[in-house]
Structures are given as structure tokens and as C-alpha cells.
Structure 1
């Protein structure tokens, strides 16, 4: 049995990695499964909301990477997984799960997907999406207010105390592990290149 190919898509907050991921998903449909590293943030049911707000969510230790590795191995073995669902408005897992079925291509997206060597070793392609810092913070503010119910003061405090310093400490350095570095998720040339590469992987699958 052929094993799914794994494509890691990393980049700073608001860089456009989700946009790029979604564009690939739209092109390839059911041949592609998307996994979000954010859904593997550790559960903090034991902490009150005010304490959960203070957690450094941009540090590698914020994630339950061991569970993600276990799930990737199952998907590569052709098994479905029960992926946890993260609730940004509560800074905690929702308690719900989504069934994720294996497919030919798995897109693994998140700010720190290239930071863990074990994850990198499972990837067939590693992509880093970058964007100007001003653009990234503006996108983050708009997204967090509209989609995650955050207030500006909380966003600004989180950005200055953890997001910005962690970006330069942990996220930006992982660019060196990438096979491809692209500027913005709307880069059509990069999209064409990845389309061609994924099509060749799909052909390898079909001929395997």
C-alpha cells in the first residue's frame, strides 16, 4: 500500500500560510487532507480562563506534538484519526473531535511545524511562507477580532510579550529547514510550482 506524502507549511502568524494551504486544498480537493498544528495545543482544563490567556502559545512546548506524531503515523498507515478541535475563544480544546481520513497528500500547517525534527523527518516537502512583519500583525489583529472574539488590548499584549519575541526565537529560524520559501500565500508562481510538484507526487502514488 502506498503511504501518503506529507507537506509541511510553516510561517509566522499572519504570513499567509493558511491562505496558501487553502488554495492547494481547493485545487486538489479530496486528494488532500489538511491537518492544523493549532488543534494540537495542549489541553488546559485545570486552569481558569484568565490563566489560560497568559500561556505562551508561540513556544514549541505549547503543543502536544507526541499526539500529532502518533496521528501522522496512523494516517501514513492508512488509518483514520480523531483530531482534537481547539477553541481560540476559550484558549483551550473544545472537547470535540473531528474524524480525519487518510488521503494521498497531507498538508500539515502551523507556525512551528518545522521546529520539531521528528515532524520534519516525516515530511516529503517543507515550505515556509514569509511576509513583512507589519502585514503579519495587521492580519492577526483583523483575524483575532473578527474570528476569535479577542479585544485589541489583549491582542497587542500577547503580540508584544510572546508572539513577536517567539517568532524571532523559534519560528523565523525554521526557514532554514524549508525546501521552498515563498513570500505571501497569494504568490501565484509558488502555487504553480507546488501544483506541479504535488501532481508528480500523485502520479508516483498512482504508479506505485
Structure 2
């Protein structure tokens, strides 16, 4: 199994990069694991308290469970990926079954911050993007998908998103084998990644 980690700041275009890579392959060739699924459950807190949580801090992710799931997939075992709601900020009762494939893509802003998880990756990618572009995307996404208004998004960006990006996320560039500027718009970088995956699949 070829394991690829794709990190980068929130709104950098990671999901678009993953989507464009996956489009080049059959469903039975590539599995995707998002660390957004592994946020700790906060159902014991009030909704207001949940929304105050820093989702850009490594401590917000249940890395032990995610690492265990990656190891099981590498062993050829299927796993039950948690389902997390950003509207209620809680982990849901249902799970998604993820089957082992020839290629596993791990995607998330913090996926390169954990050394044990990094060591399970064959290729590490950092998707880079200007902060003003990321902020614009975050505002649009959080309003449309996460039930927040502009004031809430800007407050959260100032208090947690930007400081955590500087402290935790941007420094993980040094672990990357490939840095992809412009996210999903960088067709050449996506093609290079796709070609490498194809070469790996052809060798197996």
C-alpha cells in the first residue's frame, strides 16, 4: 500500500487536490482518510463551548485512533472511520467503512504534525496558499457548510485559526517531500503526483 499524506492550511485547497488525484483512478484503487473525521467528540459540552474549541490545534485530533486505523488498513483490514459534524461539533453515531486499497491518501491540516503518523507515509505533501485566499475560502465554507456568520468566522480566524496555522501547520512544510503552491489550480504538481501513483500501481 502506498500511503500519501496531504497537509496545508485550512482553505489551502487540499480537498481539491485530493479530488483531482482521485478522479484519475478507479474507486477500488484509492482510499481516502480525512483527519476531520477524527476530531474528539465534544457532546459533553454546550454548543457554545464546542464552537469555542480550537480545531486547528493538534490536541483536538484523536491521533491514536487514526494511527491505529492506518496500520490496520496497511495490514489489509477494513476500518470504521468516524463521522464528525462541524455543525454540532460532535462525533456522530454512524461510521463509514473504509476498505484497504492499493493507495491510501491521508488528508488534513494537521496530518503532518504527528511523527508516528508521518512515519506511516511514503509521500508527504504540503499544499501552500496565500493567507488572504485561504481566509476568503474559510469564510465562504463556514457560512455555507458550518452554520456560522461572517463575524463568528473572522473572530475564530483571529483567535485560533491564524495563530495555530503559524505555530503548528506552516512549520510542517519542512517534512514535505512535495510543496504544491496554488492548491488545486497547480495542474503540473497534481500530474506529477498522479504519475508517481500510476508508476507505483504498475509495479504491484
- Shared fold by TM > 0.5? yes
Q: Secondary structure at the match of 1:27?
A: coil
C-alpha distance after superposition, 1:79-118 (max 9, x if no partner):
1111000101011112220111110000000001111000
Matching residue of 1:191:
190
Q: Secondary structure at the match of 2:84?
A: strand
Matching residue of 2:21:
24
Matching residue of 1:115:
113
Partner Cα distance (1:20, 1:41) in 2: 22
Stretch moving more, 143-152 or 8-17 = 143-152
Matching residue of 1:161:
159
Structure 1: gaps spanning 5 or more residues = none
How high is the TM-score relative to the length of structure 1? 0.95
2:72 touches 2:79 (CA, 8 Å); kept in 1? yes
Q: Secondary structure at the match of 2:200?
A: helix
Structure 2: gaps spanning 5 or more residues = none
C-alpha distance after superposition, 1:152-181 (max 9, x if no partner):
111111110000000000000000000000
C-alpha distance after superposition, 1:173-201 (max 9, x if no partner):
00000000011222010011011110111
Partner Cα distance (1:201, 1:154) in 2: 44
C-alpha distance after superposition, 1:37-85 (max 9, x if no partner):
0100001121111111111111000000000001001100111111000
Q: Secondary structure at the match of 1:106?
A: strand
Partner Cα distance (1:79, 1:150) in 2: 38
Matching residue of 1:176:
174
Q: Secondary structure at the match of 2:112?
A: coil
Q: Secondary structure at the match of 2:173?
A: helix
Give the alignment's Cα RMSD to 1 decimal.
Answer: 0.8
Give the 4+ runs in structure 1 shifted more than 2 A.
none
Deviation at 1:5, TM superposition (A): 1.2
Matching residue of 1:11:
8
Aligned residues: 202
